[in-house]
A and B are shown apart, each in its own frame.
Chain A
């Protein structure tokens, strides 16, 4: 009937919501323009379509399903407010999420996918390709995702990098396509680089290498992530760092490499290296805050959450050196489920566009995650926040978390430096290995050892 861009802008204008933006974004200019057009058309006899749209969309509900650190209620609420239709955020853990996408695809509208999940979902035919042309900010998405590089630095492809999982040749293709196409499997929305968290007061030196996690000095005071697919990569980073092995591809190990890694883990466990393993964000915070461990694989916001409790905790900058170390990167993106069509599909595209328009980027930026479109996120961050979170400069003033609670004093510098320092030092990405079944079995050996 009419194209989606018209729909969106007309509807945006008619929703009549006050704009709370601090600066004039491209979007608000568009909206203003559309408002004028809409008003003009509305007064005309021919018109009236924006009203129809506004009425039709208010009955639409989008169910965005995924892990809690990526699918956040506050973001969904804001989207619903700005877009005028209902958005429901539902949280599941990683494995429950992928199982739901695959076994009950119709119960989900927007699937929150990691790169490897996008690959699986495409393979199973539960998602439809995202038409890149319809994504307004697509050209402003960092080339990390769209081209697999940044500032001339090639993004490593150990594991499944977002770029690798990003494209399919046709909207209904089930195999990933190597190279840029017009159709995306998923639209990156939030990502980060994971490393180690430690207590500087109890560890006694600056940690910049993964091998400190398996140092016998920290026997009984170390913990590792217990999500097999990525826990094994953290372990691999440790063993590689200690010079015990050189992996062909940490993100897609051979059976021999899996055996070596799990056998070493079992040895360490028997020697009493690990106080515990953790599976959720809260568990990792609790382990560190309660003094159970002094060093563990950890996520950036978890480190911040420990610090909020006034317990010193540092996020180790594990920059790549001598072909070792580096962060384990991850990226969550939004996939459109295959059953979406008509108005609902239009609404879903609106939602994707809203996601990249900055509000969400600002929100996740305030707890240490990054937006794939920093240029829009920046408009929703104060200069101080931008300096601290993205530029790695000392905080010019107190830094608040997304809910307004002060979390960093003025003068603090973010661990790991600037955004570019971090992402350029990602050495591998979250993944699902070809030998996943075997790896899982060996991981269970580690668990019962």
Chain B
């Protein structure tokens, strides 16, 4: 009975070597700091207080920040899912030549060879008041005044997120679709299923694991981001992280730590929910 135990520990060691120092310990530091007090000059007083949590949890601002951030997360999730699924579906089921499909798949990743920031910032000259979109629309006479909603707005934030994150949907969904046995689809068609039925009863259920994985990526990235919101909303919107980043800026570490712990808990709950709907482990090992 000793041997399997030992080998199990050996298997798990590399992961632990990464997780413990780079995830667990920092998280613990943040957790501990969230119960401390500050002297107002960046110093931490090692007391035990719940005041930071009381402050965060009783503030209407916290609620508004979560509403704002969740709004971006859900909209981004919805659009990346639709676009990502369609792209993956097209590549797997409509491109007959497998080599071509893989080639097209690789082409999808080309924009991602540049940095996130560059991809986000390149939207600005496109969407601005005197930007390409507005000047084109003005030129062909569709609008008379430039559309201000295109830039420095919630719309701009969502556009940037969708552009940045769709690939995180395409990859896992492509992967799970590619593993569907095409004969199952043919059999269903032979048995008289409509294309919609095939989609509803075969394709979507069998790509659940890919969708769940993609959703996990997209939602956790959006919930944890502040930079895109800051730049694309022109500072007109805030997010959970941007709010506590401002606290760090004036050295209010304990309250920022409490906000960070809360965000971690909310994210764990959201991911748990996704995993409850889809048992990724079972789906992948199938």
Contacts and interface: CB of A to CB of B under 8 A. Distances in A.
A447 B242 contact: yes
A444 B250 contact: no
A223 B151 CA distance: 14
Contacts of A120: 41-42, 251
A228 interface: yes
Interface residues of B, number: 36
Contacts of A286: 124
* Chain A interface, >50% SS class: helix
Nearest to A446: B238
Interface residues of A, number: 38
A291 B246 contact: no
A277 B250 contact: no
Given A123-B41, A437-B247, A276 B125 contact: no
A448 B125 contact: no
A276 B250 contact: no
Nearest to A444: B243
B217 to A, nearest CB: 25
Nearest to B238: A447
B64 interface: yes
Contacts of B124: 286, 290
A276 B153 CA distance: 9
Interface stretch (B20-28, B158-166, B191-199, B228-236): B228-236
A441 interface: yes
Contacts of A95: 245-246, 248-250
Contacts of A283: 231
B152 interface: yes
A124 B42 contact: yes
B264 interface: no
B152 A444 contact: no
Contact of B61 (A102, A434, A448): A448
A444 B129 contact: no
A441 B250 contact: no
A437 B151 CA distance: 31
Contact of A277 (B42, B128, B235): B235
- Taking each of A276, A278, A443, which has the highest tally of chain B beta carbons within 10 Å of its own beta carbon? A276
A275 B251 contact: no
B155 interface: no
A220 interface: yes
Contacts of A448: 61, 64-65, 68, 237-238, 243
B235 A290 contact: no
Interface in B196-254: 230-231, 234-238, 242-243, 245-252
Interface string A275-291: 11111000100110011
Given A102-B42, A274-B236, A436 B250 contact: yes
B43 interface: yes
B283 interface: no
Interface in B45-104: 59, 61, 64-65, 68
Interface of B: 40-43, 59, 61, 64-65, 68, 124-125, 128-131, 148, 151-152, 230-231, 234-238, 242-243, 245-252, 255
Given A228-B246, A276-B234, A276-B235, 5 more contacts: A95-B245, A228-B250, A436-B40, A437-B40, A437-B255
Interface of A: 94-95, 98-99, 102-103, 120, 123-124, 220, 223, 226, 228-229, 269, 274-279, 283, 286-287, 290-292, 432, 434, 436-437, 440-441, 443-445, 447-448
27 contacts: A95-B250, A98-B249, A102-B42, A120-B42, A124-B41, A124-B42, A275-B148, A275-B234, A277-B234, A279-B230, A283-B231, A286-B124, A287-B234, A290-B124, A290-B129, A291-B128, A292-B128, A436-B252, A437-B40, A437-B252, A437-B255, A440-B247, A444-B238, A447-B235, A447-B236, A448-B237, A448-B243
**Which 5 residue pairs spanning A and B have beta carbons closest together?**
A276-B234, A95-B249, A277-B235, A447-B238, A226-B235
